[in-house]
Amino acid sequence: MTERWYWHMAQRRGWRLPLPGGTQPAASPPPAEPRRDGDAVVDCALYVGGVRQAGARDVAELFAEARTSPEAFVWIGLHDPTAADMARVAEVFDLHPLAVEDALSDDQRPKLERYEETAFLAVRAASYIEHTEVTDTSEVVATGSVRLFVGERFVVTVRRGAIGGLRAVRADLEANQALLAQGPWAVVHAVCDRIVDVYLQIAAAFQRDLDIVETQVLSREGGAGIGQIYQLKRELVEFRGAVLPLQQPLATILDGRTVKLTKEIRRYFRDVADHNTRVADRIGGFDDLLNSMLQARLAQVTVDQNNDMRKIASWAAIAALQTAFAGIYGMNFKFMPELEWRYGYPGLLIVMLTTSALLYRYLRKSGWL
């Protein structure tokens, strides 16, 4: 199984990894792995009737023992596994090469696929990044990925990235033996439930950010800029990419045709799907609100530009009036009004200043200045 899996992956992705037994492919030496093989295993345990069995043993031994009891299953958790780590796990649990390839990919859309007796579920975890204020470059939401292989006697959780830790999920499940006794799909529910609960927390925090930016947009000073609104829209797109695609896998789990679940576990999954739908609805509302805020800010910019143009036009009108006086007396006519008058020059200046003041007062009163 391992050798076949390696050759399959090598042909699809161009890997040059050592084959089982120490043999090397005919190509160049293998590149250095970012992590040592075996470091990816976070926890591995055998559960019988919802109770964790004591002792640290090899995953193959645990899986062999799980097959002997109808109430037993193995749960192994991996974090950023190497290809060799996944090859070992794939050999033990007979995982399909395509599903293993999806588990190793850096960017995987949430989905549920069935491979004979094994189901593969990909879920995107998310986390809210605390910040003092929303700027043009603020990161609000960070995402990671959790992939799960589920069989009758095992569940494999593969976490990619720093988001979506599952230690607390395992601890809570081990404290709830009645739920854990439901089998591997109880683990899947607990993982999905924790991820969706974090979605709800992010939605609440995102709402607070929107309220702050909305207040700034609608304030007289117009403190929020277009860049801040666009940044929130970009972060919302990333959040939407985690929440909305999960609706289809959850619906597939609940329809009962692809996955056979007990009524109790299906009831738990229905609750998760309901929470995920609530978050999806809120995301739609957030997007509409951001669009409205963007339109309002653009309208404010247009109004500000119109005000600036009115002020420019007003000052131009005042200057044009003085230019008219200067233009008349700049003509080379012999007979001009008050040309020989001793006080003609200061009198003209007084007329120019008086008309400018009257015009300024009129424009000020009409709101142009």
Do 309 and 293 lie in a common domain? no
Does 11 map to a domain? no
Residues 6 or more apart from 130 whose CB is under 8 A from it? none
Do 315 and 182 lie in a common domain? no
Torsion of the alpha carbons at 181, 45, 64 and 93, rounded to the nearest 10: 90
- Range of weakest confidence among 227-231, 262-266, 267-271, 309-313: 309-313
pLDDT for 262: 85
Q: Encode pLDDT of 161-182 as tens digits.
A: 888 889 999 999 999 999 999 9
Does 276 map to a domain? yes
On whether the CB atoms of residues 127 and 198 are closer than 8 A, the answer is yes
Q: Which residue has the tokens 């990909």?
A: 122
pLDDT at 197 over 60: yes
CATH number where 322 lies: 1.20.58.340
Query: What's the chain's Rg over C-alpha atoms?
Result: 35
Q: How far is CA 207 from the centre of its chain?
A: 14
Does 18 map to a domain? no
- Which DSSP string corresponds to 166-235? -HHHHHHHHH-HHHHTT-HHHHHHHHHHHHHHHHHHHHHHHHHHHHHHHHHHHSSS--S-HHHHHHHHHH
Q: How confident is the model at residue 125 (pLDDT cuts 50, 70, 90)?
A: very high
Do 59 and 78 lie in a common domain? yes
Tokens of 97: 């090469």
Does 25 map to a domain? no
Do 213 and 360 lie in a common domain? no
CATH number where 207 lies: 3.30.460.20
Q: Encode pLDDT of 214-231 as tens digits.
A: 888 877 665 667 788 888
Write out the residue range of the structural domain in which residue 139 sits. 33-299
Do 45 and 131 lie in a common domain? yes
First vs last C-alpha separation in the chain: 82
Is 279 or 331 the better-scoring residue by pLDDT? 279
Q: How confident is the model at residue 87 (pLDDT cuts 50, 70, 90)?
A: very high
Torsion of the alpha carbons at 253, 169, 284 and 259, rounded to the nearest 10: 0
- Range of weakest confidence among 7-16, 159-168, 201-210: 7-16
Q: Domain count of the chain?
A: 2
Do 267 and 328 lie in a common domain? no
Q: How far is CA 161 from the centre of its chain?
A: 14
Do 141 and 194 lie in a common domain? yes
Of the candidates 144, 121, 111, 103, which has an alpha carbon nearest to the alpha carbon of residue 238? Answer: 144
Do 318 and 205 lie in a common domain? no
Distance CA 354, CA 152 (A): 95
pLDDT for 1: 46
Does 14 map to a domain? no
On whether the CB atoms of residues 76 and 44 are closer than 8 A, the answer is yes
Highest mean pLDDT among 101-115, 145-159, 295-309: 145-159
Q: Does the global pTM surpass 0.85?
A: no
Q: Encode pLDDT of 273-287 as tens digits.
A: 999 999 999 999 999
Kindly state the average pLDDT of the residues 240-266. Answer: 89
Do 79 and 183 lie in a common domain? yes
Torsion of the alpha carbons at 227, 285, 269 and 171, rounded to the nearest 10: 40
Residues 6 or more apart from 57 whose CB is under 8 A from it? 46
Do 120 and 267 lie in a common domain? yes
Do 123 and 199 lie in a common domain? yes
Q: How far is CA 92 from the centre of its chain?
A: 34
Residue 241 to residues 142, 157, 235, 236: CA-CA distances in angstroms? 11, 21, 10, 8
Does 71 map to a domain? yes
pLDDT for 88: 92
Question: Over pLDDT 90: what percentage of the chain?
Answer: 42
